[in-house]
Structure 1
Amino acid sequence: MIKVGIIGTGKIAETHLKAYAEFSERCRVVALANPGMDKAAALRDRFGLDCRLVQDYRELLRDGELDLVSICAPPHLHAEIAVNCLEAGVHVLIEKPMAMSLAECDRMLEAQASSGRLLSVVGQERFVDKNVKLKAVLESGLIGRIVHAQVESYWWRGRSYYDVWWRGSWEREGGGCTLNHGVHHMDLLQWMMGMPRSVQAVMSNTSHPNSELEDLSIAVFVYDGGALAQMTSSVVHHGEERQMVFQGERARVSAPWKVYASQELEDGFPVRHPKLEEEIEQFAGESETLKYDAHTGQVDDVLTAIENGSLKVLIDGHEGRKTLELITAVYEAAITGGRVELPLSPDSRFYTREGFLAAVSAYPLPERPKMSAPKASAIPANAESGGEA
């Protein structure tokens, strides 16, 4: 029986607890750690847990009672908590983003290597059927070489979203929609296409005067071989319609799922290619359905790696670092106004948290026009607040 502790008892901790509850025969949550004990107690009671409550997670590391922790604390605390847990011999599953800087990621990776414990970074979208199917089709070669990707990470968050004490701050949240919402699609993009050669980007804060951070960014990635990808990260898009579209030499595929294949006429103009579309559809239809999805799928992956002793997971610390490196490059490109080459060097001022904060503090996001508050009557009395991205 794997003994689990949850560090941080905010909204995302509920998602982790629901996932662990699916595997009650394999693991047991034995502790919740949070500075606010009332919040931890409320979560314990809601899930009917028989577990220990502590204000300081380090109490749990001294007596060796944990095998695995889920780190659900605010991003600026991720690196310190992860390093301390790994050095204490505890496996770590950590929420996105992995850390606040590449330097912190490297500290975490060093602690993981020296401890011989598992470090997995949450990327629940890799455990969703439509995304697994899409990746399999891309790797099959049926659509040909990818020449263009269009990624739309569209979310919407109101101003009060940034009234939470750690949000809206470069120092505590680490970044805006590019980091904390776009991270899901950024992870999928690098999982499906690999790391690009260079990045160019722009960003702005259009609608959230109580936040220091961007609420809209647009990035262009250039890959070896000439392929391009463009990605929009946003918390200002009504409807939150998200998609990933991959254009290959022979056909396009996307999530939400859609296939369209073309072949050329003698004059070079297109005509639809139904036979290839049928072949792609058949291949995609044969993809095995995942037994567990999203966070539950990733928790199963982590538990399995611990149980079989391999400690091999789909998203380890190196994969988590790649995603943060891509996001850091977007920020560097937007702030400097230039093309950023990858991989990023430790000599980059954006490599450390201190250097990153110094750079973004000097970057003036465009001044926002004054926006009138919505009339009270326009807000339904039973409106529900949004969850974590």
Structure 2
Amino acid sequence: MLRIGIIGTGGIAGSHIDGYLRFTQECEIVALSDVVPDKAASRRDEFGLAGARVYERAEDMLAAEDLNLVSITTPPATHAELTIAALRAGVDVLVEKPMAPSLEECDAMIAAAAAHARVLSVVAQNRFRNDMARLKAILESELVGPVSHAQFNSAWWRGIAYYDLAWRGTWASEGGGCTLNHAIHHLDLALWLLGTPRAVTAVLTNAAHENAEVEDLSVAVLQYERALAEVTSSVVHHGEEQAIVVHGRHARVSQPWKVVAEASMPNGFPAPGGDPERVAKIEALAAAHRPLEHVGHRGQIGDVLAAVRERCRPAVDGVHGRRAVELVTAIYAAGIERRTVDLPLAPDDPYYRTGTLVERAPHFFEKSTSVDELPGAIAVGSSADHAGRTS
């Protein structure tokens, strides 16, 4: 029986606890910690974890408990320090997105996992969704053809009060705005579905949140060998209509689900009716997808538990988490410096280092309110096709 600890018991911790409770034959949550007094105890009581002990310091929990795995669900600026402490204590780690605000911190986390022969996984729960698994399988077939253009719309909406929470809304504590903390889901999917781009251009702004330093809207163009991908990162979009649209040479597929395939007339214009045979083949491949046993956080937690038991690499490891942070970093560098940024980013690039964003990023506004707690639950949004819950 694997012994689980939870570090940080805010909103997203509930998804982790729920996930572990789906595998009660394999693991048990034995400890929870949170720096806010009584917060961990409240979570313990909420989920009926009667035997779990609570701590205010993660260091005390790591020292007192014989743990196999911890979930780290604290603010982004704390991820690296807590992850490295757990790895050095001989504990495997599942850390929430984003892995860390800087590539320097990501590399330190990866190095610690290697040095102590520990499992390190970074949350990317949308890879564990049936619609995304289906989309990936179709793109890996030859039915769509080489990708020409893709659109990733990370469209969320958050009210002004969202950034009143103490750790949100500053470059130092949150690490960034919607590009890092919301669109990282879609950016990870872009990497998973299309691979790493060669270069990035971007623009950033704060359109609607006067109580936050960070951006609430960015638009980036990812440059591949011959293809382009657009990524819109937002917390200003009413309706939260998220979408992934991929156009290949032979067909377009998208989520929410839609298939279109054009065919050419002799003069190059679209033929009436398109290519129904190709559409039928794509629909058949989609229909043949075998549903995943567990989805979202539950699916990733199941994968991580297996990796811990079998001492193997999880489906989403530290390298995958780093790649997503690298893409976010390139978007920030491009937007702040107003230039095209080539990938990969080298260790001597200023934006590789911890603290560069704090030094160079614009303060669109100054944070005006700072509270420890906000009332209400985390709302997933109005659409069933969202690319995942965020914090």
TM-score, length basis structure 2 = 0.93
What code does the residue aligned with 1:179 have?
Answer: L
Name the counterpart of 2:242. Answer: 242
Number of aligned residue pairs = 371
Deviation at 1:364, TM superposition (A): 5.5
Name the counterpart of 1:201. Answer: 202
Q: Take 2:240 and 2:56, find their aligned partners in 1: how far apart are those partners? A: 36
After TM superposition, the runs of 4+ consecutive aligned structure 1 residues lying more than 6 A away are: 382-385
Deviation at 1:308, TM superposition (A): 2.2
Superposition pairs of residues 275-286 of structure 1, within 5 angstroms: 275-286=277-288
8 Å CA contact 2:155–2:235 kept in 1: the answer is yes
Q: Take 1:183 and 1:364, find their aligned partners in 2: how far apart are those partners? A: 21
Q: Take 1:96 and 1:385, find their aligned partners in 2: how far apart are those partners? A: 16
Name the counterpart of 1:146. Answer: 147
Name the counterpart of 2:123. Answer: 122
Q: Take 2:44 and 2:224, find their aligned partners in 1: how far apart are those partners? A: 47
Deviation at 1:64, TM superposition (A): 5.1
User: Identity rate of aligned residues, in percent?
Assistant: 47
Q: Take 2:252 and 2:12, find their aligned partners in 1: how far apart are those partners? A: 35
Name the counterpart of 2:341. Answer: 340
Deviation at 1:39, TM superposition (A): 1.1
What code does the residue aligned with 2:304 have?
Answer: V
**Residues 280-289 or 70-79, more deviating:** 280-289
Name the counterpart of 2:16. Answer: 16
Superposition pairs of residues 135-284 of structure 1, within 5 angstroms: 135-224=136-225, 226-271=226-271, 272-284=274-286
Question: CA 1:192/1:103 → structure 2, altered by over 3 Å: closer, same or farther?
Answer: same
Q: Take 1:358 and 1:85, find their aligned partners in 2: how far apart are those partners? A: 29
Q: Take 1:73 and 1:63, find their aligned partners in 2: how far apart are those partners? A: 20
Query: What runs of 5+ residues in structure 2 fail to find an aligned partner?
Result: 367-374, 381-388
What code does the residue aligned with 1:248 have?
Answer: G
- SS of 2:38's partner is helix
What code does the residue aligned with 1:155 have?
Answer: W
Q: Take 1:204 and 1:87, find their aligned partners in 2: how far apart are those partners? A: 39
Deviation at 1:386, TM superposition (A): 3.4
8 Å CA contact 1:60–1:66 kept in 2: the answer is no
Name the counterpart of 1:303. Answer: 305
Name the counterpart of 1:110. Answer: 111
Q: Take 1:233 and 1:13, find their aligned partners in 2: how far apart are those partners? A: 24
What code does the residue aligned with 1:266 have?
Answer: P
What code does the residue aligned with 2:79 have?
Answer: H
- SS of 2:32's partner is strand
Deviation at 1:62, TM superposition (A): 2.1
8 Å CA contact 1:37–1:53 kept in 2: the answer is no
8 Å CA contact 2:9–2:43 kept in 1: the answer is yes
Superposition pairs of residues 22-41 of structure 1, within 5 angstroms: 22-41=22-41
Q: Take 1:216 and 1:355, find their aligned partners in 2: how far apart are those partners? A: 20
8 Å CA contact 1:157–1:386 kept in 2: the answer is no
Deviation at 1:214, TM superposition (A): 0.4
Deviation at 1:384, TM superposition (A): 6.6
**Residues 83-92 or 31-40, more deviating:** 31-40
8 Å CA contact 1:16–1:70 kept in 2: the answer is yes
8 Å CA contact 1:150–1:246 kept in 2: the answer is yes
Name the counterpart of 1:374. Answer: none
- SS of 1:313's partner is coil
What code does the residue aligned with 1:22 have?
Answer: R
Q: Take 1:249 and 1:93, find their aligned partners in 2: how far apart are those partners? A: 38
Name the counterpart of 2:318. Answer: 317
Query: What runs of 5+ residues in structure 1 fail to find an aligned partner?
Result: 369-381
Name the counterpart of 2:379. Answer: 386
8 Å CA contact 2:7–2:34 kept in 1: the answer is yes
8 Å CA contact 2:216–2:234 kept in 1: the answer is yes
- What are the Cα deviations for residues 330-355 of structure 1, in whole angstroms up to 9, with x where unaligned? 00000000000000011111111222
Q: Take 1:307 and 1:105, find their aligned partners in 2: how far apart are those partners? A: 24
What code does the residue aligned with 2:352 have?
Answer: Y
Question: CA 1:364/1:83 → structure 2, altered by over 3 Å: closer, same or farther?
Answer: closer
Q: Take 2:255 and 2:22, find their aligned partners in 1: how far apart are those partners? A: 27
8 Å CA contact 2:119–2:311 kept in 1: the answer is no
8 Å CA contact 2:171–2:357 kept in 1: the answer is no
Deviation at 1:383, TM superposition (A): 8.5
8 Å CA contact 1:147–1:247 kept in 2: the answer is yes
CA RMSD in angstroms comes to 1.5
What code does the residue aligned with 1:8 have?
Answer: G
8 Å CA contact 1:8–1:32 kept in 2: the answer is yes
Match status 1:55 vs 2:56: yes
Match status 1:45 vs 2:45: yes
Match status 1:68 vs 2:69: yes
8 Å CA contact 1:350–1:359 kept in 2: the answer is no
- What are the Cα deviations for residues 189-245 of structure 1, in whole angstroms up to 9, with x where unaligned? 001101000000001001101100100000001002x10000100000000000000
What code does the residue aligned with 1:292 have?
Answer: H
What code does the residue aligned with 1:251 have?
Answer: A
What code does the residue aligned with 1:61 have?
Answer: L
